[in-house]
Structures are given as structure tokens and as C-alpha cells.
A and B are shown apart, each in its own frame.
Chain A
Amino acid sequence: MAPSASAASGEVAVVGVTKRFGETTAVKDLSLTIPHGSYCCLLGPSGCGKTTILRMIAGHEKPTSGDIRIGGQSVLGLPQIERGTAMMFQSYALFPHRSVLDNVAFALKMRGASTADRHAKARELLTKVQLEKFADRLPAQLSGGQQQRVALARALITNPRVLLLDEPLSALDEYLRLRMRGELRRVQKELGITFVHVTHTQLEAIAVADTVVVMAQGHIEQAASARDIFVAPRNAYVARFVGGQNVLSGSVESVMNGVAAVAGKNGVRYAIPVGELRPMRGSPLWGSIRRDRVAIEKVAPGAKPTTGLNAVVGEVHTLENQGSYVKVTLDLADSEEFVAHVADENFFAHPLDIGERVVARWSASDVKLLEDGPIAEERAPAGTAMATAG
């Protein structure tokens, strides 16, 4: 838990915030604390309310109810400049009629700084983003990646304690996107200020953030470290949205030594660890298994594979070579997609073909319980999740 925030702290607290636009509710009674100096990603599909939260922190939208606090102080009704926030817009919103230097110096000009002072400070920031040579260009004369760095420099000139980034990488091509996300992370570490970054790209969030907040329909599904979001999704929604996991489901047959035996469709049986919980016999239960913890074996034509616990039989539906691994998608009798990431050397030692029958096996100890169905009510509700990060 974050220590009590001082005045200069960039701790952002969203407290019971609801935002309605007319009839539609964009954000529903949402609470979230982002510790000072951490990198937080709001991740979710479009329309999940992540940009609305960002715009409310920035002061471009007003919450219908609830409070926004920065450094422990409510900032509702305060102008942007007193919030200590700065925003980087999705399209960068660089002023097309001003040079790069004047774009970066804009905030200082608004405060009445002298031309010499503001240009000196702006040049300093341009040097930091390695664009000092382009100071006299117009934004339209720069590449997308350069424009993004100008937008970053322009936002940082006010020494904000919180930088808000709205889909900052979505306008870039794949190569630049990968480079710039590393760059953003480096700048955040260097400045030690809070970054709140909105994205709909799972791997981008996991790559840059200390804390990832997965959202759906105006509420938080899970707020956790990037690693936990990936390896320990809280529920089936997070597991499916973040990817990297297969979701298993079925009804409880028996519980023994903290492990439930679960019967899925078509006689498939799984073991799902349940810890101290005692799910009722016959109640539905969900679990997840990482795609890279699944082993694939070919089934000889006509042979009847031994399945037992923790194995499914299916046909190879698609194969995608990802370089260091091959993504094998199986067509199972039940509709849920089942994917195995097979390390390249293993795959190419025994290559598979589309349409081949295979059996996928995994170890019971790699299965994680998901909080869906009756189990969810026995755990803490998601709305109060606190994001803590290292």
C-alpha cells in the first residue's frame, strides 16, 4: 500500500467515480489508486471507459459522482495547470502552425515567460528527446515517431507530477511502436513521475507497465502487476482478453486435498486447485492453463488416446510460426478455443499438419483457479482492488 501522499506526490486516486453521458454509463462506481512514480496501464476494449477515466484525471471531463485526488488532494474543478497533470493526445495535437520549438515552449509562453527563457528550456527538452536539430521544423515535416517525441517534450515542460497518455503508440507503425514503448518506459523511470497510459493492446500494457488495470464496461476486472495479469488472471474475462491462457470450465465432481476434479464437455476431465474453498458438487468451476505449459502429442490414426485428467483431444485448426514458438490452435468438440505455444525446437522436431489429431496435456500444478461463478462471491469484490506495484 502506498504511503500517505505528500503535496508534491503524483499518487492518483480515483474514488468511487461514476461518469454518465446522458443515458449511458461510461464508468461505474470505480475506485483505483495509482502509486506515486509508477507506470499504470488502463487496458480494455474500446468503450470500456478507460479513456473517460484518463480524461477525468486530466480535467477534460467531470465525474458525475465520486472524487479524483492527486497527491491526496481533491482536484475536482481545478484547472489542468493546478492539477499537475499533462496529457499526451492520441493524435498528439501538435499545433500545426507553430514550429517544434514553439510547440514545446507553448506552456511557458502561456505563463508569460520571456522568449529567451522559454526557448532555452524548450531546447533542453528537445535535446532530451534527441530532436534538437528539428527545433525549427513544423510538425508536419516530422515523422510519426518524431512527432510523438515532440508531444512528449511539450507535455513534460510544465514538470507535471502525472503524465496522462491516451493511446500514445496507436498512430505509429509496428517497428516504431515497439521502440517507442521502451522509450516511454525509460523516460518514466528517469523522471520518476506517475504515468497513466491508456491502451487496447495487451502486450503493450504488459511490456511497459508496473500495474495493469484490465477494464470492461466501466468497471475494473483486475488491477495487478503486469506479471500477475499475464500469469495469474483473476477471472475468465481477463484470461481471455489478455491472452496467453486457455480457459477451462466444467462442473465439480469431487474435491480432495484442495483440488477439484471437474467434468467438462464431452467427458473431458480437469483438476483445478481450489485451496481452502469448498465448491459444491455439481457447481460450475473455471480454471486457466498457460498456453506455453501445454504439451502436444500426435495421435496415430485409428488409435484411441489415453486421456484421463488434464488432457484434451482435438484436431489442429491453425498453425502460426511466431519465431521462438509456434502457436497451435486446436479445434475441440466444445466451442472454446484451445491454444498451445510449442517451443520452436520441439515443434520442428515433430512437425504437425493442419487437420491432424493430437492430444494436449498439462500438469495439474500449472492450472489456476479463476474467480467466476459461485466462487467469485467468496472472494473480495473487484471494485476495491488496489493497484500496488514495485
Chain B
Amino acid sequence: MHGDDTRPWTFYAFAAFFTLFVLFLYGPMIVIYILSFQGPNGGMTFPLNGVSLHWFSALVSQTRVGDIAGSFVRSIGLAAIVAVITVVLSVLAGLAFRRRFRGSAFAFYLAIASLIMPGLFVGLGIALTFRLLGLPTEWFTTGLGAQLTWTLPFGLLIMFAVLGRFNRSYEEAATDLGATNWQKVREVTLPILLPGIIGVALFGFTLSYDEIARTALAAGARNTLPLEIWAMTTNVTSPTLYAVGAVTTIVSFIVIIVALGSIAIVQRRRAAAGMRTE
């Protein structure tokens, strides 16, 4: 390649910045993952005193580290519920917003404004309101509501982007060919939008899975995983903390792989339709 030696200084500036970014993001995480394999007699810092899975087993066996297993199950369940509700409502709202209706701009800004509200106060407000009404606060009621104030506007914005690239003549063609409204949505609109919809689900899930600000005061007595970890950082002084970090990261990766994998499967199935028709 010629001309590579005439890169502008901005190239090096950005390259340097990007290197710092990568080190800052992944360096500490890698340190945590390595330290989670600390030997049974090791401490929270280097050097490694042997290598073991001791702290991973301590995660489930030791009661004094808190309710890791329980909070993990709650968080996964909550994230799944949030993802489903976010997908259903964002898709419906996105489709509805394609047509300008009276007050549509107002409704849109009302929904989006939720993104700039300080999360801690959203959670606090929800908890206070429930207490005022004499209702119990739980992760699956107030916690769920608090998280939806965060994921729904996100989901809606993603659907706007997805629908912005969607050609309406697909729907007109379906109508033209005799599809009823329901057939049109099922046979044409949703299948074409499917990769984008999986993206909304992925966002809903991950935003919920590591949400703290809104959930902290609205989750009630039983913690979600991020809240449990937050509590642990103040009272657990063993590498168990690192083991938690390693496990939760793996779960996040699995979620992303499942989502990207299902998009790939959708794509592959479409390509396979090229070989075999339904």
C-alpha cells in the first residue's frame, strides 16, 4: 500500500486515545478475572497464591457473602420480563408512531424525557408513591416499573431507527396481494423487522441486567444482582467478589452471543430459503 506513510496527526491522536480506552476498559477486568482464580489462601491482590476454583465454589456454598444465587435468578428473570415487555410495547409504539396523530409529538417527548430524569430519583419517587399507597415494593413490581422507565424509551428510539429504513411499499404490496391487516403484520412486517426486534430485546435485557440507579430504591427487600454486588463491595473482603465479577461477565457474553446468534440464524434461514422453500 502506498500513501500509508502520510497519515495525518489526527490518526495518531485517535489511535493513542483508542489504546488508552481499550486498556482502561479491559485491563482492570482482566485483572479481576485472573484474581478470581486465586488459591484458597490467597488475598485480594497479587501475587497469586496458587490457582483454584475455590472462590467460585464459595460463591454458592458460603452464606456470609450474601444471596448471590438468589439475586442472580431474580436478575435474569427480571431482565427477561423487561426484555419481553420492552419488545412488545416498543414495536407496537414504533409502528403506531409512523402515522402522525394528534399529540404524537407530545407523547414522544413525554416518553423520551424519561431518559434524562435522574435515575435515583425515579426509583425513589416510585418507592415513595407505593409506600404512600400502602403497597409493598418488590423487584417484580416497583423494580420492574422503574427499569421500564429506562428501557422503553430506548426501545422506542431503536424502533424508530429500524422503521426509518423500512420501505412501506412492502406493506402496500402485501395489501395489494390480498393480505388482511393481520396477515400483513405476521407475514411481511414482523419478519422483515425481526433482526431489529432482536436488537431491542438485547438492549432491554442488558440494560435491565446491570441497572442500579433506578432499581436501588425501588427493588424492595430482595436485591437484584447488581445491588447484591454493590453491597458486597462494602463488606466482602475475599476474592469471592472477583468470582462474582467473572461469572456475571460470562452471563452477559452468553446473552450477547444468543442475540447475535439468533440474528445470524434468521439471516441464515433466509439464505436457506434460497435452497428450500417452505
Contact = CB atoms under 8 A, between A and B. Distances in A.
A173 B129 CA distance: 65
Nearest to B278: A102
A158 interface: yes
Interface in B248-278: 270-271, 273-278
Nearest to B173: A93
B192 to A, nearest CB: 6
B46 to A, nearest CB: 53
Interface string B178-215: 11100100011001101000000000000000000000
Interface stretch (A104-112, A260-268, A293-301, A322-330): A104-112
Interface in A342-372: none
A95 B177 CA distance: 12
A111 B174 CA distance: 12
Looking at chain A, what size class is its interface with the partner chain?
A: 20 to 34
B270 A81 contact: no
Given A97-B270, A102-B278, A138-B271, A87 B176 contact: yes
Contacts of B176: 58, 60, 80, 85-87, 155
Interface in A71-127: 79-81, 85-87, 89-91, 93, 95-99, 101-102, 106-107, 109-111, 115, 119
B40 to A, nearest CB: 54
Contacts of A136: 273-277
Contacts of B276: 136
Given A87-B173, A91-B167, A110-B179, A97 B274 contact: no
Contacts of B271: 138
Contacts of A80: 175-178
A141 interface: yes
Interface string A35-71: 0000000000000000000000010100000000000
Given A119-B277, A138-B274, A141-B274, A111 B188 contact: no
Contacts of A102: 273, 277-278
A137 B272 CA distance: 9
B169 interface: yes
Contacts of A155: 176
A138 B273 contact: yes
B177 to A, nearest CB: 4
Given A119-B277, A138-B270, A96 B180 contact: no
Contacts of B18: none
Given A93-B172, A97-B192, A158 B274 contact: no
A135 interface: yes
Looking at chain B, what size class is its interface with the partner chain?
A: 20 to 34
B21 interface: no
B17 interface: no
A387 to B, nearest CB: 24
Contacts of B175: 60, 79-80
A246 B120 CA distance: 76
A93 to B, nearest CB: 4
A154 interface: yes
Q: Which of B180, B192, B274 has the largest number of chain A CB atoms within 10 A?
A: B274
A99 B274 contact: yes
A97 to B, nearest CB: 5
A196 B172 CA distance: 18
Contact of A60 (B172, B191, B273): B172
Interface in A145-169: 154-155, 158
B230 interface: no
B273 A110 contact: no
Contacts of B179: 106, 110
A90 B172 CA distance: 12
A99 B167 contact: no
Contact of A135 (B169, B177, B270, B277): B277
A99 B172 contact: no
A89 B277 contact: no
A263 B156 CA distance: 68
Nearest to A95: B188
A89 B180 CA distance: 19
A96 B192 contact: yes
Contacts of B278: 102, 115
A102 B179 CA distance: 14
B5 to A, nearest CB: 40
A58 B275 CA distance: 34
Given A58-B176, A106-B177, A107-B177, A99 B273 contact: yes
Contact of A89 (B172, B187, B192): B172
B108 interface: no
Given A97-B192, A106-B174, A138-B270, A91 B277 contact: no
Contacts of B194: 97
A110 B183 contact: yes
Given A102-B277, A102-B278, A138-B270, A158 B178 contact: yes
Contacts of B270: 96-97, 138
B185 to A, nearest CB: 13
Given A101-B277, A138-B273, A93 B170 contact: yes
Contacts of A95: 170, 173-174, 188, 191-192
Contacts of B173: 87, 89, 93, 95, 154
A19 B271 CA distance: 43
Interface of B: 167, 169-170, 172-180, 183, 187-188, 191-192, 194, 270-271, 273-278
22 contacts: A80-B178, A85-B176, A87-B176, A89-B172, A91-B167, A93-B167, A93-B172, A95-B174, A95-B192, A96-B270, A97-B191, A97-B270, A99-B273, A101-B277, A110-B174, A110-B177, A110-B180, A110-B187, A115-B278, A136-B276, A154-B177, A158-B178
Rank and list the top 5 A-B pairs by shortest CB-CB distance, nearest first.
A107-B177, A93-B173, A93-B169, A81-B178, A110-B178
Given A98-B273, A111-B178, 9 more contacts: A79-B175, A80-B178, A89-B173, A95-B191, A97-B192, A107-B178, A110-B183, A141-B274, A158-B177
